[in-house]
Amino acid sequence: MEWSAFGNMTSVDDVTGDRYRLLIDAVTDYAIYMLDPEGNVVSWNPGARRFKGYEDHEIIGQHFSRFYTPEDKATELPARALRIAREEGRFENEGWRVRKDGTRFWAHVIIDPILHPATGRALGFAKITRDLSERKAQEEALRRSEQSFRLLVQGVTDYAIYMLDETGIVSNWNAGAERIKGYRPDEIIGRHFSVFYREEEREAKVWERALAAARSAGSYQTEGWRVRKNGEHFWASVAIDPVRDDQGNIIGFAKITRDMTERRQSDQALEAAREALYQSQKMEALGQLTGGVAHDFNNLLNAVVGSLELLRKQVTDERQLNLIGNALKGATRGISLTQRMLAFARKQDLQVSSVNVYDLVAGMTDLLGRSLGPSIELETSFPASLKPAAADPNQVELAILNLAVNARDAMPEGGRITISARNETVAPGSAGPLQPGEYVRLAVTDGGVGMDRETLARASEPFFTTKGVGRGTGLGLPMVLGTAAQLGGRLELESRVGEGTTATLWLPVSKPSSGLITDLAEADASPAETTPSIRVLAVDDDALVLMNTVALLEDLGHQVVEASSGREALRIMGEDAAFDLVITDQAMPHMTGSQLIAELNGRWPDIPIILATGYAELPGSLPAHVKRLGKPFWQKDLAKAIADSSASRARR
C-alpha cells in the first residue's frame, strides 16, 4: 500500500531516509510528527514526547484532536486546520494545547500537507509544534505590565503625561493632561504641542529649542507659563525626555507637565512677606535712628533758639538784629525738619482733637494758593455728611501741604490738584493693616508724570527723593506716613506713569465721647500769662540745654536751681523742698523724667511739674497735674507752661 510505503519511508533512498529520521529524532525543542489523511498520528519524535508527555505506543494511531482544548474542539478547529492545510497548502496559528497530564501550554503550530509526487493526492500531513509557553508567559507579563502602566498613567491626574512623535505631534494623552490643560484626547491627539505655549513663545519657537535640548542633553527640564485650552495661563514644571528604539534612534518624546501655579503663588506670597518684613525691620531701624538723631538735634536747637531769643533782647544794633533774625529763621527750619523726622519715627508729640477736615482745608486755601503758584488749579470735593477726624490739626495741615507740593512738583507745566474726602468703614475681618472702624479718607490727586513701580515702592522711604539735589529732603512722605500711623490711620499711594498720582490719608473718625478738644481756637485761646517770681528746680542731663533753660527762666524773673540728673534732683529736694515748680527732661541716663516724676509724686505730691520732651511715647501715664512742654520750645511756650502749672496748682 502507498501509505505503508509512506510510513516506512521506502519511497526515498534508504540512506537519505535514515538521515532524515536521525535528524528528526535528534530534535527535542520541536514536536515533529505525521498524521494520516484523517488526522491520526503515524509517527512521533522525542521532541513531541518531551513536551506533550505521550510515549510512541500511547499516541500513534490516536487522533491528533486530543491535543486540543475542549473549547477548540467545540469549534471543530482540528478539522478546520486539516482542511485549510489541504486547500491552502499550509495551516499556521498559535493557541492553547493540552499535554497528557491535562496541563495546557501555548503552542505554535504548522501543518503542511504531504502530497503524492505523481497524482498530487494528499497522503497525510506533517505537523510541527513548538512549546512557546515561556515566551507566552513573558508576553503576557509584558502585556499586563504595559496595561498596568497605561492604567497607572491614565489614573494620574496631578501630572500631564503624554507622548510626542519626533516632530512634536501629540500621540497620546492621559487624564492628568486633560484636567490640567483642558483638552479631551480627540481634541489634542494629532496636534502640535506648541499650542501649549504663549503666542510670543510660539513665534520665538521656544518649543523647538526645548526638543533640541532634550535631543542633545538626553533630558530637558524647565518652568514657565503655559496656556490651557480656555486661554488661561498657568505656571508649569516641564520635563521632556527622548524615547529611543533598540538601535538608539529617537522615535519620540515623553513629556510630563505639572501645574505649579499654587506653589508659585505661595512662593510669591512668602517672598512678599519676607520683603515686607525686611522693609518693616529696615524702616523700624531707620525710625529708631531718626528718632534718636531728632531728639539730640532738638536739644541742640533748644539751646540755639533760647540763646538767640535772649540775645535779641539785649541787642539794639539793627544789623545785628537782622543776623539774629536770620539765625532764628534757620533754627525754625531746623525745628520743622526735626518735626518731620520725629513724625516719621512716630515719636512726635501730637495734640489730637476733633478736626473738621472741610473747615481745615478751607482755612488753608490761601496758604495752598501761595505755595502752589498760579500754574496750579486747586479743586476740592467734600460731602456734606463728612465726619470729623481724630487728628492733630497742625500735622494734618502740614501733611496736606506736603502732599500738595509733591503733586505740584509732578506737574512742571501746571495742572489741576484735587483735594477730596469721604467717609469709609473698615469692616471686621477685612484684610489690611487698618483696624475695623470708621475713617475719613482724605485724598490729594494730581495729573502729573506719575511713578513707576520701583519709585512707588520707595516713595515713602526716608531721605528718598526724585526732586534732585537741594530740592527736597526726602522726609515729606515719611512724615505723612508716620503721622498717619501714629494717629491710627495709614497713607496709601497709587500711581501710574503718565497718569498721575493719588495720595490717600486715612484718619480715624472722632468719637463724641473721646474727650478731644473740639475747637482748635479753644485750645489756643488762653494767652501766655506772666507769673510772679517762683523758685524752680531745672533738671536736664545735657549741659547746653540746662544752661539755656536756666537762662530763659531767669530772664522771666524766676529763681532757678540746676540738677544734671534725676538722682541729683531727688537729693536736692530731700535737702530743700521749698520749690514752687520742677522742670525736667525725659531722656536721661539712670533715671528718666517719668521715673523722677513718679518719685516726686510719691514724696511731694503737691509740687507742680513740667516734663519737657520731644518724644510722644512715654512709659505709663503721667499724673494729671504734670504739664508737657514740647522740645524745642520758645520762651513764650515756657512762660505759658509755667502759667498753666501755677493755675492748675491754684485750682487744686
Confidence of residue 35 (pLDDT cuts 50, 70, 90): very high
Give 311 or 295, the one with higher predicted confidence. 311
Residue 10 confidence (pLDDT) above 90: no
Most confident of 71-75, 174-178, 483-487: 71-75
**How far apart (Å, rounded) are the C-alpha atoms in residues 398 and 347?**
16
pLDDT at res. 515:
39
Distance (Å) of CA 614 to CA 290, 563, 587: 13, 20, 9
Q: What region, left, alpha or beta, does residue 61 occupy, with left being phi > 0 and alpha being psi -120 to 50 degrees?
A: left
How is residue 498 written as a grid cell?
503718565
Identify the weakest region by mean pLDDT among 137-151, 414-428, 588-602: 137-151
Determine the Cα–Cα distance for residues 16 and 13; give it in Å rounded to an integer. Answer: 5
Higher-pLDDT residue of 365, 611: 611
Amino acid 285: pLDDT: 59
Q: For residues 560-577, give the mean pLDDT.
A: 91
336-363 residue pLDDT tens: 666 655 555 445 556 678 889 888 888 8
139 HSE (CA, 13 A, CB side) = 6
When pLDDT is cut at 50, 70 and 90, the band that residue 155 belongs to is low
Q: What is the DSSP letter of 517?
A: B
Task: State how far the Cα of 446 lies from the Cα of 450, in Å rounded to an integer.
Answer: 9
Query: How confident is residue 372, by pLDDT bands cut at 50, 70 and 90?
Result: confident
Cβ neighbours, 10 Å, residue 124: 21
Answer whether residue 180 shows pLDDT above 60: yes
Q: What's the grid cell of residue 331?
A: 533754627
Band (27; pLDDT cuts 50, 70, 90): low
Q: Of 434, 467, 350, 438, whose CA–CA distance to 397 is shortest?
A: 350
What is the predicted pLDDT for the residue at 459? 66
Query: pLDDT at position 7, please?
Result: 42
Greatest mean pLDDT among 4-13, 476-485, 605-614: 605-614
Rounded to an integer, what is the distance from CA 7 to the centroid of its chain?
A: 90
What is the enclosing helix (H) or strand (E) of 428? none
Nearest one of 615, 608, 610, 651 to 629, comparing CA atoms:
610
What is the C-alpha to C-alpha distance for residues 255 and 211, in angstroms, rounded to an integer? 10
pLDDT reported for residue 523: 33
Least Cα distance to 632 among 326, 395, 309, 369 occurs for 309
Across the range 78-95, mean pLDDT stands at: 93
Which tops the pLDDT comparison, 331 or 121?
A: 121
What is the pLDDT confidence band of residue 11, given thresholds at 50, 70 and 90? very low
Average pLDDT over residues 226-237: 94
Query: What is the Cα–Cα distance from 354 to 389, expressed in whole angstroms?
Result: 6
**How large a percentage of the chain has pLDDT more than 70?**
79
Of 537 and 366, the structure prediction assigns the larger pLDDT to 537
3-state helix, strand, coil in the chain (%, to 5): 45, 25, 30
| Confidence tier at 34 by pLDDT (50, 70, 90) | very high
Mean pLDDT over residues 388-407, rounded? Answer: 84
User: What Å distances lie between residue 160 and 15, 208, 230, 487, CA to CA?
Assistant: 69, 20, 17, 54
Of 367, 454, 448, 460, whose CA–CA distance to 413 is shortest? 448
What is the mean pLDDT of the segment spanning 2-31? 56
User: How would residue 110 be classed by pLDDT, with cut points 50, 70 and 90?
Assistant: very high
pLDDT confidence band for 238 (50 / 70 / 90): very high
Contact criterion met (CB below 8 Å) for 383 and 650 = no
- Strands, sheet with 376-381, edge to edge from the N-terminal-most edge strand: 376-381, 415-426, 437-446, 500-508, 490-496
Strand 535-539 vs strand 159-165: parallel, antiparallel, or unpaired? Answer: unpaired
* Closest to 301 (Cα-Cα) out of 342, 351, 346: 342
Neighbours of 316 (CB within 10 A): 7
* pLDDT score of 514: 41
Residues in the chain: 652
More confident residue, 71 or 429: 71
Confidence category of residue 652, pLDDT binned at 50, 70, 90: low
Going by C-alpha positions, the residue among 116, 196, 202 that lies closest to residue 164 is 196
Name the least confident of 46-50, 213-217, 465-469, 607-611. 465-469
Residue 103: pLDDT over 80: yes
- Whole-number pLDDT of residue 527: 43
Cis amide prior to 632 (ω within 30 degrees): yes
Give residue 341's pLDDT. 57
Burial of 229 (0-12, 13-18, 19+ CB in 10 A): middle
Does residue 305 surpass a pLDDT of 70? yes
**With 60 as the cut, is the pLDDT of residue 528 above it?**
no
pLDDT at 625: 79
pLDDT at position 343 is: 54
pLDDT at 78 over 80: yes
Percent of the chain with pLDDT over 90: 37
Mean pLDDT, the chain, integer: 81
Domains of the chain: 2-137 (3.30.450.20), 156-259 (3.30.450.20), 353-516 (3.30.565.10), 526-651 (3.40.50.2300)
Angle between helices 393-409 and 365-372 in degrees, nearest 10:
30
